[in-house]
Chain A
Amino acid sequence: MYVAVKGGERAIDNAHRLLAHERRGDSSVPELSLEQIQQQLTLAVDRVMNEGSLYDQELAALAIKQARGDLIEAIFLLRAFRATLPQFGATEPIDTGEMAVGRRISATFKDLPGGQVLGPTFDYTHRLLEFPGEAALQSTALASAPTTGEIMPRATDLLAGADLIEASPKAGEHDRVNDLTQDPLTFPAERDLRLQNLARGDEGFLLALGYSTQRGYGRNHPFAGEIRLGEVEVEFVPEEIGFAVPLGRITVTECQMVNQFRGSATEPPRFTRGYGLGFGHCERKAMAMALVDRALRARELGEEITAPAQEEEFVLSHSDNVQATGFVEHLKLPHYVDFQAELGLIRRLRAEFDEAASATGRAREAAE
Chain B
Amino acid sequence: MSAPAYNFAYLDEQTKRMIRRAILKAVAIPGYQVPFASREMPMPYGWGTGGVQVTASVLGRDDVLKVIDQGADDTTNAVSIRKFFEKTAGVRTTSSTREATIIQTRHRIPEAPLAEHQILVFQVPIPEPLRFLEPRETETRRMHALAEYGLMHVKLYEDIARHGHIATTYAYPVKVDGRYVMDPSPTPKFDNPKMNDCPALQLFGAGREKRIYAIPPFTCVASLDFDDHPFERYRADETCALCGADDGFLDEIITDDRGGRMFVCSDTDYCEDQRRRVRGPQAASATADRP
Contact of A325 with B by CB under 8 A:
yes
- Please indicate the chain B residues that have their CB under 8 angstroms from the CB of A271 in the complex: none
Q: Is the CB of B74 within 8 A of A12?
A: no
- Please indicate the chain A residues that have their CB under 8 angstroms from the CB of B136 in the complex: 187, 313
Contact of A11 with B by CB under 8 A:
yes
Contact of A341 with B by CB under 8 A:
yes
Q: Is the CB of A84 within 8 A of B138?
A: no
- Please indicate the chain B residues that have their CB under 8 angstroms from the CB of A334 in the complex: 69-70, 75-77
Q: Is the CB of A3 within 8 A of B288?
A: yes
* A18 nearest CB across to chain B (Å): 14
Q: Is the CB of B190 within 8 A of A186?
A: no
Write out, one digit per residue, whether chain B residues 10-48 have a CB within 8 A of any chain A CB (1) or not (0).
101000000000000000000000011111111011110
Bound: A184/B141 CA distance, A = 15
Which listed residue, A6, A326, A336, A345, touches B288 by the CB 8 Å rule?
A6
Bound: A12/B83 CA distance, A = 11
* B263 nearest CB across to chain A (Å): 9
Q: Is the CB of B255 within 8 A of A1?
A: yes
Interface size class of A (residues with CB under 8 A): 35 or more
Given contacts A5-B72, A187-B137, contact A323 B169 (CB under 8 A): no
Which residues in window 175-194 of A have CB below 8 A to B?
A: 181-188
Contact of A164 with B by CB under 8 A:
no
Write out, one digit per residue, whether chain B residues 254-282 have a CB within 8 A of any chain A CB (1) or not (0).
01100000001010100000000000000
Contact of B61 with A by CB under 8 A:
no
- Please indicate the chain B residues that have their CB under 8 angstroms from the CB of A206 in the complex: none
Which listed residue, A76, A181, A314, A340, touches B251 by the CB 8 Å rule?
A340
Write out, one digit per residue, whether chain A residues 96-107 have a CB within 8 A of any chain B CB (1) or not (0).
000000000000
Q: Is the CB of A184 within 8 A of B74?
A: no
- Please indicate the chain A residues that have their CB under 8 angstroms from the CB of B146 in the complex: none
* A313 nearest CB across to chain B (Å): 6
Given contacts A5-B72, A8-B76, A313-B138, contact A341 B108 (CB under 8 A): no
Bound: A338/B185 CA distance, A = 11
Given contacts A3-B288, A337-B170, A349-B163, contact A79 B40 (CB under 8 A): yes
Bound: A330/B287 CA distance, A = 27
Contact of A88 with B by CB under 8 A:
no
- Please indicate the chain B residues that have their CB under 8 angstroms from the CB of A322 in the complex: 40, 44-45
Write out, one digit per residue, whether chain A residues 138-167 have a CB within 8 A of any chain B CB (1) or not (0).
000000000000000000000000000000
Contact of B78 with A by CB under 8 A:
yes
Q: Is the CB of B69 within 8 A of A184?
A: no
Counting chain B CB atoms within 10 Å of each CB, the highest count among A7, A185, A334 belongs to A334
Q: Is the CB of A342 within 8 A of B169?
A: yes
Given contacts A1-B255, A323-B45, contact A337 B71 (CB under 8 A): yes
Which listed residue, B42, B44, B108, B251, touches A330 by the CB 8 Å rule?
B44
Q: Is the CB of B287 within 8 A of A5?
A: yes
Contact of A270 with B by CB under 8 A:
no
Given contacts A7-B74, A86-B12, A333-B69, contact A338 B252 (CB under 8 A): no
- Please indicate the chain A residues that have their CB under 8 angstroms from the CB of B160 in the complex: none
Contact of B79 with A by CB under 8 A:
yes
Bound: A62/B251 CA distance, A = 42
- Please indicate the chain A residues that have their CB under 8 angstroms from the CB of B234 in the complex: 341, 344-345
- Please indicate the chain A residues that have their CB under 8 angstroms from the CB of B107 in the complex: 335, 337-338
Bound: A67/B287 CA distance, A = 36
Contact of B213 with A by CB under 8 A:
no
Contact of A131 with B by CB under 8 A:
no
- Please indicate the chain B residues that have their CB under 8 angstroms from the CB of A348 in the complex: 165
Contact of B253 with A by CB under 8 A:
yes
Which residues in window 312-361 of A have CB below 8 A to B?
A: 313-314, 317, 322-323, 325-330, 333-338, 340-345, 348-349, 352
Report the nearest B residue to A78, measured CB to CB: B40
Q: Is the CB of A84 within 8 A of B12?
A: yes
Report the nearest A residue to B234, measured CB to CB: A344
Contact of B150 with A by CB under 8 A:
no
Q: Is the CB of B169 within 8 A of A313?
A: no
Q: Is the CB of A184 within 8 A of B188?
A: no
Contact of A31 with B by CB under 8 A:
no
Contact of B1 with A by CB under 8 A:
yes
Report the nearest A residue to B253, measured CB to CB: A3
- Please indicate the chain A residues that have their CB under 8 angstroms from the CB of B36 in the complex: 184
Contact of A59 with B by CB under 8 A:
yes
Contact of A70 with B by CB under 8 A:
no
Q: Is the CB of A341 within 8 A of B251?
A: no
Report the nearest B residue to A75, measured CB to CB: B40
Some 6 contacts from A to B, beta carbons below 8 A apart, are A184-B35, A313-B138, A322-B45, A323-B46, A330-B46, A335-B107
Other than the given A322-B44, A334-B77, A344-B234, 10 more pairs (CB < 8 A) read A5-B268, A8-B79, A80-B41, A184-B35, A313-B138, A326-B208, A327-B45, A327-B46, A330-B46, A334-B75
The interface of chain B, by Cβ under 8 A from chain A, is: 1, 4, 6, 10, 12, 35-42, 44-47, 49, 69-72, 74-80, 83, 106-108, 125, 135-138, 163-165, 167, 169-171, 186-190, 208, 210, 234-236, 249-253, 255-256, 264, 266, 268, 287-291
